[in-house]
């Protein structure tokens, strides 16, 4: 898996890995789905939601993506499980969120995610590829 959860006292954090920035963004969406559902294999990749975002830097872009996932789930009932990047720069992204509409009968919800935080948020080149960090408020 391209992500590892780490302990944050009241919440959960995720360390993200990828060959490039786009893969780190994809890892963030997968970690979100895993944390939320506890079983991401139950989420079908059958709906595409094109997405464009801008931010001040790569870390802010990661936080902005997390905010889109939460709003999409809570207000629009869209459960994203992956992100397919089309064009990514340190200050912008364009790509497809992929998942399906939330179905309470079929999708287990392990722990609702209320927000993503700027605290310790990171997305940057690493020794091998890129690394990211995101803390989720539960």
15 binds another protein (CB under 8 A): no
Which is nearest to 40 in space by CA: 48, 50, 32?
32
DSSP the chain: --EEEEEETTEEEEEEEESSHHHHHHHHHHHHHHHHHS-GGGS---EEEEEEEE-SSHHHHHHHHHHHHHHHHHHH-EEEEEEEEEEEETTEEEEEEEEEE--TTT---SS---EEEEEEEEEEE-SSSEEEEEEEE-
Give the x/- contact pattern for another protein in 46-85, rule: CB under 8 A: xxxxxxxxxxxx-xx---x--xx-xxx-xx--x-------
106 binds another protein (CB under 8 A): no
Our CB check for another protein shows the closer of 12 and 130 to be 12
Our CB check for another protein shows the closer of 23 and 128 to be 23
Whether the Cβ atoms of residue 91 and residue 61 lie closer than 8 Å to each other: yes
Using CB under 8 A, which residues numbered 82 to 101 contact another protein? Answer: 91, 98
What is the closest distance, in whole angstroms, from the C-beta atom of residue 17 to another protein in the complex?
Answer: 18
16 binds another protein (CB under 8 A): no
Considering only the stretches 17-25, 26-34, 112-120, 124-132, report the one whose residues sit in contact with another protein under the rule CB under 8 A: 112-120
The binding site for another protein (CB under 8 A) comprises 5-12, 38, 45-57, 59-60, 64, 67-68, 70-72, 74-75, 78, 91, 98, 102, 104, 109-112, 114-115, 117-119, 121, 135, 137-138
């Amino acid at each position: 898996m391209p992500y590892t959860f780490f302990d944050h006292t009241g919440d959960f954090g995720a360390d993200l890995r990828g060959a490039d920035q786009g893969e780190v963004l994809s890892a963030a969406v997968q970690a979100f789905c895993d944390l939320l559902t506890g079983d991401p294999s139950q989420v079908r990749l059958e709906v595409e939601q094109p997405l464009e975002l801008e931010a001040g830097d790569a870390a802010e872009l990661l936080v902005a993506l997390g905010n889109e996932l939460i709003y999409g789930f809570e207000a629009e009932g869209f459960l994203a499980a992956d992100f397919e990047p089309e064009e990514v720069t340190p200050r912008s992204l364009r790509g497809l969120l992929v998942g399906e509409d939330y179905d309470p009968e079929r999708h287990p919800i392990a722990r609702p995610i209320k927000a993503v935080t700027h605290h310790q948020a990171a997305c940057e080149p690493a020794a091998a590829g890129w690394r990211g960090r995101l803390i989720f408020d539960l």
